[in-house]
Structure 1
Amino acid sequence: MDARPKVTPLTRPTARRSHVSPLGVHVTPDGGVDVAVVASHATGVDLCLIDVVDPSRDERDPARYRERRVPLDGPTYGVWHAHVPGVAPGQRYGFRAHGPWDPAAGHRHNPAKLLVDPYARGLVGEVAYGPETLGSPGRPRSGDPSTPDGRWWLADPYGEPDEVDSIAHVPHAVVMPALPGPAPLSRPRVPWSDTVIYEAHVRGLTQLNPDVPEELRGTYAGVAHPATIAHLQALGVTTLELLPIHASVSEPRLVAQGLTNYWGYQTLGFFAPHARYATKGAQEAGPAAVLDEVRGMVHLLHEAGIEVILDVVYNHTCEGGEDSLHLSWRGLDNAMYYVHDGGTPARLADVTGTGNSLDFRRVRVVQMALDSLRYWAEVVGVDGFRFDLAVTLARGHYGFDPDHPFLVGLQTDPVLSGLKLVAEPWDVGPRGWRTGQFPPPVAEWNDKFRDSVRAFWLDAPRQGSRGQPMHGMRELATRLAGSADLFGHSDPPLVRGPVASINFVTAHDGFTLADLVAFDHKHNWANGEDNRDGHGHNLSWNHGVEGHAPEGDDASTEPWSTVVPLRRRSQRNLLAMTLLAAGTPMLTAGDEIGRSQRGNNNAYALDDETSWLGWDVDDAARHLLETARFLVGLRRRHAALRAESFFLGKPRPGETLPDLLWFDAGGSPMDHDAWNVAGRRVIQMLRTGPGAGESDVLLVLNGGLDDVEVHLPQPLDGAGAWERVWSSTWDTPEEPEEEPLTCPVTLEALSVEVFVAPR
């Protein structure tokens, strides 16, 4: 059997010389394509047109394919290009790069390896995790001892180039038809002050939902199904943030252990959607149908008034370290695309913890990211992006730079600057924590909010239950007021407002809400890393017993009869902080119905019931959902809970009342000395309604372990009497029958109450 692909070289006259077109492969009206690819250190690049000539052969058999090679012109400013006639949409293709194999200098050109176009808008096929997908000869390494046949291959980083052809072992790019932007492009354009973000995974959101047809579960179409949309609308979500849907692959180690990178943070294509999230019919019809399904999902969500934000991963690629995969960027221009340490031999500088980091000091890397963002905004129609490890995207020659060209591009680009842009403001490199330091209009995940809320409501009570001091009131108050200490530094000051703070207590990375109140320690044994992975500093509290009650245990018996009600109250406290604080709230999918990952706080490798939402909910889950809906609705009804600008603590121009006041348990205004009282655990936060007819809202917090009598402050001028509208002591948001409100109010231990004074 001939183990080589059939190769038909095409001479240079077949490909007409061309100007340097936009990067990628684009169809032209004359029935051909314009081709352009960056490979600035290469001595030659071939466009490889691939045809399946023998479908009866296995996909890993090179003889299944015929390859026609078209030499490209160049390089013109580092770009190889041509116009190639007679190439239609649906054509498979890749690139082969010729040039120096000099790993010590950072160059890894190997024409035996078919390379994925970094600008490919559609991909077919899967990566094979063997020596064929390495640039140099590799050695096998054992996987999980429990699966002795599991192996993954590691390349010799500085060995000679491997001569095995990879055409049958890598995905193929596909020429896509020309696509206009959504017409008409009708974005919901929800104001930041009204925004409620819901972070979800395409597959996990609907995989177990019985109200979604089986063939649509776990797909883009399933996300846009009426049952899914109805849940989001009833919850009050305005903006759906999807974990990565760019084409991705799993790390070789995970595959060898029978796992997968479920979260999708190993990108293979920044322009192509991940095909496995499409319906079976769309996958069989090809990449154009997959893209249509993604566009249809966005369109239907827009019709329902819901925005779509994509979690995007431009800080690194799926190729890993020097000893790992050789699929695209590594073979085209390794020295340009990736950050190196500047030494000899050249080694990758890893500030992402993944083995490689894209080099945003390079113009072509910045261009690739911006081109990708515009494509998803204009062609797919998404409303914004959340940037994973965003500090890497703004690292210049001397570290993080708030005036980095990439950030300037986001601020000035006519397409991108009007979208919702959110940074994860850290990476794992030197001085990588930069919360509050990104320029407008970029908002940021506020890890200080997460940690302050957890510390006050969980970690401090855990310590207090053991007789240790309890702290955290001042820090929590700062976060409830919008974190001006972090986001107020700008020129001029305070222009970003509290909406720049994405307030969250849980996210995909970490404990779920239900696990946060049930585990003191992470339980990540299913990840194949002996529980070494994931955060160890969780500020969680199991309330006295580690884990959830075993199935079948009677919740009315000890210890569960004591522990479970406290856990449920703690969940309600955390939801209240997230949804009622100044800033932009973000909920994690499933927290509203008590989803558990059985104590796993890093379930990135588990594409199973551990990570999927379970929709078979009990009474407790329904009550939690009702509470979440109520709190989102409370925020929506009262402008005092949706601050657009930082509080001044005094009347704003044209108004007579201060916008924010703080009181102690006795109803006295908080002064400097009061804020410095050690161990203070009770506080009252009064936010006045901005404008005529808007009610004042009072949040009263008791973070202590004992009930406390609280004297509510007198309603401000023009307001009616205080009305209690919600208490975290209530199992459901429906107010139980009680006597008329009297003063003082008894506030139970570890509880939040909300009062409204109508105007």
Structure 2
Amino acid sequence: MTQLGATVTREGIRFAAWSQAARRLWVSIFDEQGMREIERLELQREGEGVHALFVAGLGSGTRYGFRADGDYAPEHGLWFDPDKLLTDPYAVEIDRPYAYDWRLADRRGEGGDTASLMPKAIAAALPKPVQAAPPLFRAGGLVYEIPVRAFTMLHSDVPEKLRGTVAALAQPTIVEHLKKLGVGAVELMPVTASIDERHLPPLGLRNAWGYNPVTFMALDPRLAPGGIMELRNTVAVLRQAGIGVILDLVFNHTGESDRLGPTLSLRGFDNLAYYRHTPDGRLANDTGTGNTVACDHPVVQEMVLDTLRHFVRDAGVDGFRFDLAPILGRVEGTFDAEAPLLRAMRDDALLADRVLIAEPWDIGPDGYQLGNFPAPFLEWNDKYRDDVRRFWRGDAGMVGALATRLAGSSDVFAANGQGASRSVNFIAAHDGMTLADIVRYERKHNEANGEQNRDGHNENLSWNNGVEGDADNPAVAAARQNDLRALLAALFASRGTIMLTAGDEFGRTQQGNNNAYAQDNEIIWLDWAGRDQALERYTAELSRLRRSMPALSDTSFLTGQPPAGSEIPDVAWLAETGAPLDEQSWQDPQRHRLVMVLSGASDDDRRLAVLVNGDRRACIFTLPERDGFFWAPAIEAPDAADISRPISGRTMIFMIERAQAGTREKRNGGE
């Protein structure tokens, strides 16, 4: 297909848009302030739905929008209205944020022209492409999920004018923090321009997460006032520090919502083509947001691919996380792992080596597709999240499930002979309770969202430690610390890629709000001044251990069989007595203790023992001895322990083999 959008040349600008159903399309040119429409020029049909026009004399910085006309019959999916100014689906920059206004949703002929309510696209000559380089991030590393605005709004070491922006992530204090945690890649929650849902302004709230886009390429001016160059420069700084950047992108729906929503872009160009519809002509709602992007339409597929290429070519990002990713693989409403769009991402010359992460569920028919995406897609693993929470909550019969999750979730990802886990293991994410709130609140507290606490999930698999008394009671605080550290230790001890949401490393809280998408305030802004620095240091130690031990960061499934070049099994599952767990022990609903002994690639490699005491009672653990070695704490932290003493309850301990004096030289030739 011909290039769409605004293409800037020395002689002028070529404007092009696609619509199969529109009878006429115009480009509206605005003044430098984007307020006054200077002229309206009709585009010419070029075939295959493309409408285009070259306008001489225009250059970079030109503000513009499109208009379309045709039949207006919403009951039949037709929404053409030339009074609605439309954002270019290929716009790479807009002059101000979107703001919801009820007039944007007026029926044709009722509300008047919407140009004054809409941002204007800015025509821009894109910079020279970033020099091609392979992604820094590799499966098995640590992904650090960042809500860009909330992350630095309260960070005193970030210049005030940069707080809450993409540029803030390139500040030395932030880079230092990420390096201390051993972050392999930051995953930026949506930074493309979004609009508030229509119920938020009357409540005095605004969408703080960004999962409500209008178009897919233009960055939100509130998050990236410097546009694509701001993102590009930040990516370069992080890359120099050895940290990749993954963008969380939303291709499953747009902020145009249901039939009562605003007309902003795709709806006004060709609603029937850009969105999926049910057989009776209604907007399909496999997303829960009112509309579903038709990712099986060739024009939509090309737009998605062009968006991904844009962020790789012009910003140099490592890869992408896809919100409600089954939508991208739906063909005529049914998920297909070999859908054209999913295949094209893996085959594209520019995208083939990028990191691809799927959120493998939506709310449509057969929308739960965990484990069904094709390699090399990594997948968010909610079974991991739930099983680990259940184990540490104290649920009965969870020791086997915990072992399966620690070993890479082969029950989910080993289909078709795959030998490596594609799991993205996480215990808490942006959606749901924070890690600290999991151990503080048995029930959600979403009162601030203005929906009488009806929104958000009711089952959070959370707890309040089973400890009675005031929250300031030292016993309560200690119990919470134990649980927090145990959850973090489980995450860093798990095979597969791991993900930590920003602030969970130092105990951030949302006061029990498990659906804080509309809280652009201190509820979600990270409290850097009040952070738990001891917990932060412990997290950094866990990360250091994981990076230093291939047995932890490897993504191959643990099988209990010796790896090549060794006679020692890759894992041994033991009881606290040191005896192998038999079937009866695995099935014991009251078992809450486990030992995972990991071996290296050869017999001379040190073994690592992970001691799991999910019981509330202390216990002495016995580990298998090996000639020439002794067991020692693997982490320099308060949780380090001597296994000659009882290991306290609700704890995970890492022990590593050390060579006996005079033995290391003999075994390793003095190395």
Instruction: Please confirm whether the aligned pair reaches a TM-score higher than 0.5, indicating the same fold.
Output: yes
Kindly provide the CA deviation profile for residues 553-577 of structure 1, in whole angstroms up to 9, marking residues without a partner as x.
xx4xxxx122110000000000001
Q: Counterpart of 1:664 in structure 2: which amino acid?
A: A
Q: Please, which runs of 5 or more residues in structure 2 have no aligned partner?
A: 660-671
Partner of 2:572, secondary structure, is strand
CA contact (8 A) 1:663 1:713 kept: no
For 1:114-513, list aligned pairs within 5 A.
114-136=85-107, 161-162=109-110, 164-182=112-130, 184-186=131-133, 189-193=136-140, 195-278=141-224, 283=225, 289-343=226-280, 346-397=281-332, 399-458=334-393, 460=395, 470-490=396-416, 493-495=417-419, 497-498=420-421, 500-513=422-435
Asked if the contact 2:595/2:610 (under 8 Å) is kept, the reply is: yes
Describe the SS at the equivalent of 1:453: helix
Check if 1:46 corresponds to 2:26. yes
Q: Is 2:461 aligned against 1:533?
A: no
Query: Following the alignment from structure 1 to structure 2, what is the Cα–Cα distance between the partners of residues 429 and 680?
Result: 38
Report whether the alignment pairs 1:666 with 2:577: yes
Q: Please report how far the alpha carbon of residue 398 of structure 1 lies from its aligned counterpart in structure 2 after TM superposition.
A: 5.0
**CA offsets per residue over residues 84-118 of structure 1, 9 Å max, x none?**
22221100111111111122221111111111001
- Say which SS state the counterpart of residue 183 (structure 2) adopts: coil
Q: Using the alignment, how far apart are the partners of 1:342 and 1:517 within structure 2?
A: 46
For the Cα contact (< 8 Å) 1:575–1:628, is it kept in 2?
Answer: yes
Counterpart contact for 1:311–1:385, Cα < 8 Å = yes
Post-superposition Cα deviations, 1:574-599, rounded to whole Å, max 9, x if no partner, equal 00011111111111111111111111
Give the aligned partner of residue 667 of structure 2. Answer: none
Superposition pairs for residues 491-640 of structure 1, below 5 Å? 493-495=417-419, 497-498=420-421, 500-544=422-466, 549=471, 555=472, 560-617=473-530, 621-640=532-551
- Contact kept, 8 Å, 2:193 with 2:215, in 1: the verdict is yes
The residue type equivalent to 2:382 in the other structure is: D
Contact 1:494 1:646 in 2 (8 A): no
Q: CA deviation at 1:135?
A: 4.7
- Cα distance per residue 1:417-440 (max 9 Å; x no partner): 211110001011122111111001
> Are the counterparts in 2 of residues 39 and 332 from structure 1 also a CA contact under 8 Å?
yes
Residue equivalent to 1:643: 554
CA distance change for structure 1 residues 28 and 512 in 2, over 3 Å: closer, same or farther?
same
1:267 is paired with a residue of what secondary structure?
coil
Q: Deviations over 1:394-437 (max 9, x none)?
A: 11125111111111012111211211110001011122111111
- C-alpha spacing 1:654/1:545, structure 2 compared with 1 (3 Å): closer
Q: Is the 8 A contact 1:187 1:307 kept in 2?
A: no
Q: Which of the residues 633, 637, 641 maps onto 1:724?
A: 633
Distance 1:235 1:577 in 2: 16
RMSD (Å) for aligned C-alpha atoms: 2.0
CA separation of 1:589 and 1:128: change in aligned 2, threshold 3 A: closer
> When the two structures are aligned, how many residues end up with a matched partner?
659
Report the alpha carbon displacement of residue 689 of structure 1 after superposing the two structures with TM: 0.9
Aligned partners of 1:135 and 1:693: how far apart in 2? 73
- SS of structure 2 residue aligned to 1:355: coil
Query: Are the equivalent residues in 1 in contact too, given 2:99–2:195 (CA < 8 A)?
Result: no
Secondary structure of the residue aligned to 1:198 is strand
Once the two structures are superposed, residues 508-554 of structure 1 have per-residue CA deviations (whole angstroms, 9 ceiling, x without a partner) of 111111111100000001111111111111111112469984xxxxx
Displacement of 1:295 after TM fit?
1.3
1:686-720 Cα distance to aligned partner (Å, 9 max, x none) = 110124753211111111222223222233xx761
Contact 1:450 1:506 in 2 (8 A): yes
Q: Say whether residues 1:711 and 2:622 are aligned partners.
A: yes
Seen in structure 2, the aligned counterparts of structure 1 residues 129 and 237 have a Cα distance that, compared at 3 Å, is closer
Per-residue deviation at 1:341?
0.9
Residues 188-234 of structure 1: per-residue CA shift (max 9 Å, x gap): 623323x1111111111111111112222111221110011011111
> Residues of 1 paired with 2:46 and 2:69: CA distance?
12
Q: 1:269 offset after TM fit, Å? A: 2.4
Indicate the percent of aligned positions where both proteins have the same amino acid.
39
| Residue in structure 2 matched with residue 106 of structure 1 by the alignment | 77
After superposition, the Cα gap between the structure-2 partners of 1:252 and 1:666, relative to the gap in structure 1 and judged at 3 Å, is same
SS of the residue aligned with 2:222?
Answer: helix
Give CA deviations for 1:662-697 in whole Å, capped at 9, x if unaligned. Answer: 112221222333322232111111110124753211
- After superposition, the Cα gap between the structure-2 partners of 1:426 and 1:211, relative to the gap in structure 1 and judged at 3 Å, is same
Rounded to whole Å, the distance in 1 between the matches of 2:144 and 2:470 is: 25
SS in 2 for 1:393: helix
Letter in 1 for 2:634: V
2:355, 2:217 → 1: CA distance? 19
Q: State the 1:161 CA deviation.
A: 4.8
Which residue identity does 1:384 align to in structure 2?
A: G
8 Å CA contact retained: 1:127, 1:249: yes
TM-score for both structures, normalised by structure 1: 0.84
Partners of 1:390 and 1:426 within 8 A in 2: yes
1:679 match: 590
Give the distance between the partners of 1:656 and 1:169, measured in 2 at CA: 70
Question: In the alignment, residue 623 of structure 1 is paired with which amino acid?
Answer: A
The answer to whether the 8 A contact 1:259-1:605 is kept is: yes
Asked if the contact 2:566/2:603 (under 8 Å) is kept, the reply is no
CA contact (8 A) 1:112 1:162 kept: no
Q: Give the 3-state SS of the residue equivalent to 1:721 in structure 2.
A: strand
Matched residue SS, 1:246? coil
- Once residues 583 and 408 of structure 1 are traced to their aligned partners in structure 2, the CA distance between those partners, rounded to angstroms, is 23
